[in-house]
Amino acid sequence: MRLEKFRGIIPAFYACYDDQGDISEARTNALCDYLYEKKVNGVYVGGSSGECIYQNLDERKAVLSYVANRLKGKMTLIAHVGAPSTRDSIELAKHAAALGYDALSAIPPIYFKLPDSSVYKYWNEIIEATPLDFIIYNIPQTTGYTLTTSLFEKLLANPKVIGVKNSSMPTMDIERFKRVGGDNVVVFNGPDEQYVAGRIMGADGGIGGTYAAMPELFLQANEFFLQGKFEEAKRIQSHINDIIIALCSLNGSMYAVIKEVLNRRGVNIGSVRGPLEGISNEDMGRIDNIITMIDEATQQFCK
C-alpha cells in the first residue's frame, strides 16, 4: 500500500530556464502543468535530467519549491538531493522534507572513487537527516560506481530505504535487486530504451529522462504491460527506441533537443546549461521530423 504511489511512469523533470539561463518559476510551472495533463504518475525532480550537477544549492532548492507548490497532492513527488558534498545533500534533503516530498533519492558520491563504506555512510547520513523514504540511484555509466546486491541488502536493513532506481544497462540487475528486496521494495527501470524489458524482469515502474518528450507512449507501453499485451508493448518500445536514437543523433545534448520538441508543443522551458550544448541551426531543421515520429507512434498506439 505504502509503495503503491511509486508505481508507473515517473518522468525525470527537466531544468526550466529563462532566456538568460536562470531558473524560471513560470516555465517550471508550465512543465508541471503539461505533465499533470498527461496524467503521469509522478515526477523525479533535480536528477540528471534536471541538470542538478550544473546548479547551485539555492537554484536546486528553488526548483524543488516550485514543483512542490504546483504539484503537491496531484502526483507522487520524488526529490533527487545528491550533491558533491554530504553537507549539501543533507541541506537539500531537509528542504525537500519540509516541502512534503514523498521520497528522496540520491546518486552515490561523485568525482573521487570512494570505497563502499563511504558510499554507505553518505547515503545513510542523508537518510537519517529526515523522516522521508529513500530511493537509491544506481547509474554506473555516469557515476562510475556500481551498486552491488550486498550493499543494497545492507541498506535495506533501514526501513526508510524503499527501493532503487536502476539505470545500469543489464535488465538482470533489476531482477537481482527485486530478488533481494521482494515486494517490500520498488525497483525503477532506468534505461528508457528497455522499459518494457525492465518491467518484465520485475521493475515496478520507471523513472526516465525521455518520458516527458513522449509521455503518451510510455503510459501506453505500461498499460499494455499491465494487460499482458506484450507484443503491443514491444512494438511501442521499438518506436520509442527509434525516437530516442533520433533525439540523441543531433549535435546538441539530448536534453536540448527534447526542450525544443517541448517548445514546439507550446511548453517553452529554455535550453540547457553549459557544458551541455544547445541546438544548432542545423539541428533546428531536424526537430520537426522527431515530432512527426512521436506523433505518428502516438496515433498508432494510443487512444
Ligand X SMILES: CC(=O)N[C@H](C=O)[C@@H](O)[C@H](O)[C@H](O)CO
**Judged by CB under 6 A, does residue 48 bind ligand X?**
yes
Shortest distance, position 165 Cβ to ligand X, whole Å: 7
In the set 14, 17, 34, 165, the catalytic residue is 165
Question: Which one of ligand CC(=O)C(=O)O, ligand X, none is in contact with 50 (Cβ closer than 5 to 8 A by kind)?
Answer: ligand CC(=O)C(=O)O
Selection from 135, 195, 151 nearest residue 171 by Cα: 195
Rounded-to-10 torsion of CA 56, 58, 60, 66: -150
Residue 164 in 3-state DSSP?
Answer: strand
DSSP β-bridge partners for residue 8: 205
| Half-sphere exposure for 47 (CA within 13 Å, toward CB) | 31
Residue 193 binding partner per list ligand CC(=O)C(=O)O, ligand X, none, with a CB distance cut-off of 5 to 8 Å that depends on partner kind: ligand X
Binding residues for ligand X, total number by CB under 6 A: 13
Q: Which residue of 49, 89, 171, 237 would you call a contact of ligand CC(=O)C(=O)O, by CB under 6 A? A: 49
Distance CA 119, CA 117 (A): 6
Residue 128: left if φ>0, alpha if ψ -120 to 50, beta else—which one? Answer: alpha
* 165 has catalytic annotation: yes
User: Closest CB to ligand CC(=O)C(=O)O among 30 and 207?
Assistant: 207
Partner in contact with 252, chosen from ligand X, ligand CC(=O)C(=O)O, none, beta carbon below 5 to 8 Å by kind: none
Least CB distance to ligand CC(=O)C(=O)O at residue 239 (A): 20
Q: What residue ranges in the chain does DSSP mark as E strands?
A: 8-11, 42-45, 76-80, 103-106, 133-138, 161-166, 186-189, 205-208
Residues 137-196 that bind ligand CC(=O)C(=O)O (CB under 6 A): none
- The site partner of 163 among ligand X, ligand CC(=O)C(=O)O, none (C-beta below 5 to 8 Å per kind) is none
Query: Which of ligand CC(=O)C(=O)O, ligand X, none does residue 42 bind to, with CB < 5 to 8 Å depending on kind?
Result: none
Can you name the residues that pair with 12 across neighbouring β-strands? 44
Q: What is the DSSP string of 16-43?
A: -B-TTSSB-HHHHHHHHHHHHHTT-SEE
Distance between CA atoms of 83 and 56, rounded to whole angstroms?
9
- Of residues 82 through 111, those in contact with ligand X by CB under 6 A are none
Determine the Cα–Cα distance for residues 104 and 162; give it in Å rounded to an integer: 10
- Judge whether 64 and 35 are in contact, CB under 8 Å: no
Q: Considering the rule CB under 6 A, would residue 42 count as an interface residue with ligand CC(=O)C(=O)O?
A: no
Pick the catalytic residue from 34, 137, 211, 255. Answer: 137
| 212 vs 245: CA distance, rounded Å | 16
Please report whether residue 48 would count as binding ligand CC(=O)C(=O)O according to CB under 6 A.
yes
Q: Is residue 205 close enough to count as binding ligand CC(=O)C(=O)O by CB under 6 A? A: no
The correct pick among 104, 155, 185, 207 for binding ligand CC(=O)C(=O)O (CB under 6 A) is: 207
Q: Which residues bind ligand X (CB under 6 A)?
A: 48, 139, 141-142, 167, 190-193, 208-210, 244
User: Which residues contact ligand CC(=O)C(=O)O (rule: CB under 6 A)?
Assistant: 12, 44, 47-50, 207-209
